[in-house]
Amino acid sequence: MKRLLEVRDVSRHFGGNAAVDHVSLDVFDGEAVGLIGSNGAGKTTLFRMIAGELALSGGRIEFDATSLPHRPDQRARLGIARTFQIVQLFGGLSVLDHLLVALQAHEGRQGPMRDVLWKGSSTPEEEQRCLETLRLCGLSDVADAPATALGLGERRAVELARALVVRPRLLLADEPSSGLDAHEAARLARVIALARRETGLAVLLVEHDLHMVEAIAERVIAMDAGRVIAQGTFDAVLHDESVIASWLGRSA
Amino acid sequence: MGVFFGYVLASIPYGCAFSLVAVGLVLTYRATGVFNFAFAAEAYAATVVYSELISHGVQRGWAAAIVVCVIAPVFGALLDFGLFSRIAPGNRTAKTIMALGLTVILPQIVETAVPSNPPVPPAPFFSTSFIPVWRIGGDPVFGSAICEVAGTILVLIGLVLLLRTRRFGLPIRAAVESPKLLELSGVDARWVLRFAWMISTALAAVAGVLYQVGSGATVDPQNYDLLLVVSIAAAALAGLRNLPIAALGGVLLGLAEGLVQGYVPSSSIWYPALVPSLPFLFLLVLLIFHPTLRHLEDTIDPMASIEPPPPVPAVAMRPPIVDRTIRRMRWPFLGVVVFGVILFVPADWTEALTEGAALSIVFLSITLLTGLAGQLSLAQWMFAGIGAFTTAQLAENRHWPILLAALAGALVAGVAGLVAALPALRLRGLPVALLTLCLALLGDDLLFPTSWVSNGTSGVPVPRPSSIFGIDFSSVDSEGFFVLTVVVMIAVAGIVHLLLRGTTGRALTAVHASPIGASSSGVQIRRMTILVFMLSASIAGLGGAFYAMNQQTVSQDSFVYYFGPIYLVVVVTIGATTVEGAITAGMAFALINNALMNVPQSVGGTQLHSTALTVILLSLGAFTYAKHPEGIVEYAKRRLAKTVFRAVEHNDHPLVSAEDSA
Ligand SMILES: Nc1ncnc2c1ncn2[C@@H]1O[C@H](COP(=O)(O)OP(=O)(O)OP(=O)(O)O)[C@@H](O)[C@H]1O
Ligand SMILES: [Mg+2]
């Protein structure tokens, strides 16, 4: 398998406080990796650096064996998609429009010049692809509804659909199940599994829900206080001494 | 030494006023989340009240000043009670629009209510004010200067004492630190906000009176430009959060202004250009580089993350039947209007309608930038001016055909738009409004008065085209030009409509709702922002060119900066999310203005007041913006559609749904 994402010695300080501290990890093509760790371990910070939202204090990140461009939108167009811990939807747009925005941006078919030259309406192929993704995510019935009016489970599904519609190579999913009930979480897990089977995308999944991690991830990385403390199979990591110590330490 | 002190002394009234206003700005911004653009208007109104009191029987200046100090907080409380407290705490745009509305309306109301501003400077506080009290190195120190310094220090000390009290001060200080904390602590926040408004209105009033009396000039709203810019700069220097820095910054900027004005010899080529522009440039630099301001809209409250911010109210989507009806009706409607005008309307009304069409073009640029991209630009009227002056100069001095010159004007305005777009890339929300306000003031005070732009006071003639594509309409001048302007307006409206409904509209809605969500989806925010800014500026420039052609001349008074905020408020009020909104606004403005202008003198109509009244009429709706951010035209259409739709649905359900699926 080819290495898709390579994170080497990456750090990020906020003031004097190291939120991410010399972290190295790899994600291989088509692989699903779970990233677990207690609150404040630095998981979201790491995601933000991979996505280009936050500058690195040190280290380097490579994607597909080349260094990444700076801005988040450039990285998105290279095939890094993400969902957010706090859902980031577009108030005022319908569910279908969420996918169209992402798809047209990805294909470079977006902007004033296009619209003025009368090429602004969405093509049948674009709509077709959006509808397919909506079906995959179980959102066909609400395609024309304003997305922000949906329930949390569906809003998380919209975010996932928006990420998946461009057929990304790497999906960064930040706690997709947070705030959902077991049923909704299981549905999202199924969607991710289906998408992986169809497009062979790689997934880096931050999750507190260990069932979901077990269901999706082939490999697990545990972080604590900004450092990677263990990695390996799900069982191996859960039985790792430092992981247990860190959890017990937190709950004591 | 003596000269230095002379300059320092001369700058005292300014420094004091800047300092007070800056403190008031920071205080309201932090406590209520409103950047009170209206403070300059409040200061002006207070000064007018002061002079009116004196000319109507209150003999002593100090007595009038005390009366003003009593009225002002009451007015502030009323503002909060009637307007600002009615807006949900998180809705910053609505608050900004409302504050702008107030800025626009207040001076107009004052001018309408007090038609003949006394042409003499308002009386000083004491009749002995201009007697030198003592001398420093040969320079006389007047009683008035001492009054001002003492007054400012007293007010600031009073404020400090007030903020130290448990009952009044503690909640306000808490609000300044963290509105969230205040809310969580269970204090009645409404009351605190009202109190903050009272204080800041009082500060604005005191500053206005000090400024005016100290400068010894006649009362004129224009004099408040400098107060506006420098106080904003002082508040910006304080990062809109630190009260002592704001106070100190005001004094220092006043001093700096005085020293520069004193030391740069008035004969030097720098004097006319550089000296007045310094505060603008300073503010510009601050806005672009001050770290706190760059992230102003992100988080200002250390406790804000305790709860996620309230969701932005989802604007109801437009029922499809509205779109369909408009699509069917617009061409017949336009045809009827155009032919009606050509056949039946007298010439002066045709010109008013043409002006309406030209204004509509400018307003469409606001639709693009504010309605679509969500950027509050106060400089669109300046871009219109750039388009107009370029057109006029090219036609007059280079003898370009006028329509070609107008296109060139649009291009030049577009390039000017780039200048505004680049800093706007790093900023969002309020700082963009401040930045564009600053640019608009620069244009008005520096660019347009220069002789190579406007030929001094005489202005530049602008010819109207007399033929196009071989169609000669010189014999029916006003009708021909009307049709041409309407055609251009329709073309521009078509372009804006394509952008609204196309990929740009969708993407910019996304960016506006969630910038990180949009950029993580691959939307090229920077590129799109720049393009939309430039396109919007060139549309404004084109509109300005047609406006000037209709006037047949353009002078330095044709594009006064404060029409930037006025038009923004008018368009947003009437509807910034559709092209119909902009066109309705443009036509309504020109027609109401013309109607009021035609009111006979005996009933009290004069030109000044017709514009003032138009502005008041059309922007009163700013106060409904919080409830109907889509604008009143759009709101009315949706209501109507709902009613019609319901009626149709009842009688004839299958027909409607068959049409819906078609
Ligand atoms: N913008 C920021 N400024 C300052 N500190 C920050 C910032 N973002 C994150 N931190 C700090 O960095 C640390 C890691 O935060 P991060 O959000 O990455 O944790 P996390 O692993 O995602 O936790 P959670 O499970 O709660 O989402 C925390 O201590 C947090 O307070
Ligand atoms: Mg997190």
Q: What is the pLDDT of residue B562?
A: 81
Cα gap B70→B172, rounded to integer Å: 21
Let me know whether B257 and B341 are in one domain: no
Q: What is the pLDDT of residue A29?
A: 93
Cα gap B520→B502, rounded to integer Å: 20
Q: What is the pLDDT of residue B451?
A: 79
Token pair belonging to A126:
């674009």
B109 lies in some domain: yes
Q: What is the pLDDT of residue A204?
A: 96
Token pair belonging to B316:
């109801």
Greater confidence (B593 vs A202) lies with A202
Q: What is the pLDDT of residue A103?
A: 96
Let me know whether B263 and B146 are in one domain: yes
ipTM over 0.90: yes
Let me know whether B241 and B345 are in one domain: no
Among A59, A66, A74, CA closest to A2:
A66
Of B228, B248, B270, at which residue does a domain stop?
Answer: B270
The finding on whether A37 has its CB within 6 A of some atom of ligand 1 is: yes
Q: What is the pLDDT of residue B221?
A: 67
SS3 content of chain B, % helix, strand, coil (to 5): 75, 5, 25
B311 lies in some domain: no
Q: What is the pLDDT of residue B423?
A: 78
Of B230, B255, B270, at which residue does a domain stop?
Answer: B270
Let me know whether B206 and B78 are in one domain: yes
A16 near B CB under 8 A: no
Let me know whether B259 and B343 are in one domain: no
Let me know whether B45 and B172 are in one domain: yes
Ligand 1 atom 25: residue of nearest CA = A39
Chain A residues touching B501 at Cβ < 8 A: 120-121
Q: What is the pLDDT of residue B192?
A: 79
Collapsing DSSP states into helix, strand and coil, what is residue A26? strand
> What residue numbers bound the domain in which B8 lies?
2-270
Across chain B, which has 662 residues, the per-10-residue mean pLDDT values are 71 84 86 81 87 78 83 89 74 75 80 66 64 63 74 85 77 68 69 84 88 72 76 87 87 85 72 70 81 62 43 48 72 79 76 93 94 87 96 92 94 93 78 86 84 81 79 72 91 93 91 89 92 95 96 88 86 85 90 79 57 72 68 73 64 39 34
Q: What is the pLDDT of residue B657?
A: 36
Say yes or no for a CB contact (<8 Å) between A111 and B503: yes
The finding on whether A249 has its CB within 6 A of some atom of ligand 1 is: no
3-state secondary structure B281-305: HHHHHHHHHCHHHHCCCCCCCCCHH
- What CATH number does the domain containing B581 carry? 1.10.3470
Instruction: Please spell the DSSP secondary structure of B572-630, one letter per residue.
Output: HHHHSSSHHHHHHHHHHHHHHHHHHHTS-GGGT--HHHHHHHHHHHHHGGGGGTTT-TT
Is the Cα dihedral B624, B626, B629, B634 positive or negative? negative
Say yes or no for a CB contact (<8 Å) between A111 and B514: no
Among B43, B356, B436, B585, CA closest to B444:
B436
Let me know whether B265 and B393 are in one domain: no
B211 lies in some domain: yes
Q: What is the pLDDT of residue B303?
A: 47
Mutation pick for ligand 1 pocket among A20, A38, A43 (CB with most ligand atoms within 8 Å): A43
Q: Rg of the Cα trace of chain A? A: 18
pLDDT band at A89 (very low <50, low <70, confident <90, very high): very high
The finding on whether A19 has its CB within 6 A of some atom of ligand 1 is: yes
Quick: pLDDT tens for A120-168: 888 899 999 999 999 999 999 999 988 888 889 999 999 999 999 999 9
**Across residues A99-122, what is the average pLDDT?**
90
B185 lies in some domain: yes
Of B207, B235, B270, at which residue does a domain stop?
Answer: B270
Let me know whether B143 and B30 are in one domain: yes
Let me know whether B234 and B339 are in one domain: no
Let me know whether B469 and B609 are in one domain: yes
Cα gap B187→B182, rounded to integer Å: 6
Greater confidence (B165 vs A201) lies with A201
Question: Residue B279 in contact with residue B286, Cβ under 8 Å?
Answer: no
B388 lies in some domain: yes
Let me know whether B382 and B501 are in one domain: yes
Number of structural domains in chain B: 2
Say yes or no for a CB contact (<8 Å) between B521 and A76: yes
Q: What is the pLDDT of residue B379?
A: 92
Work out whether strand B132-136 and strand A227-232 pair parallel, antiparallel, or are unpaired: unpaired
Q: What is the pLDDT of residue B116?
A: 62
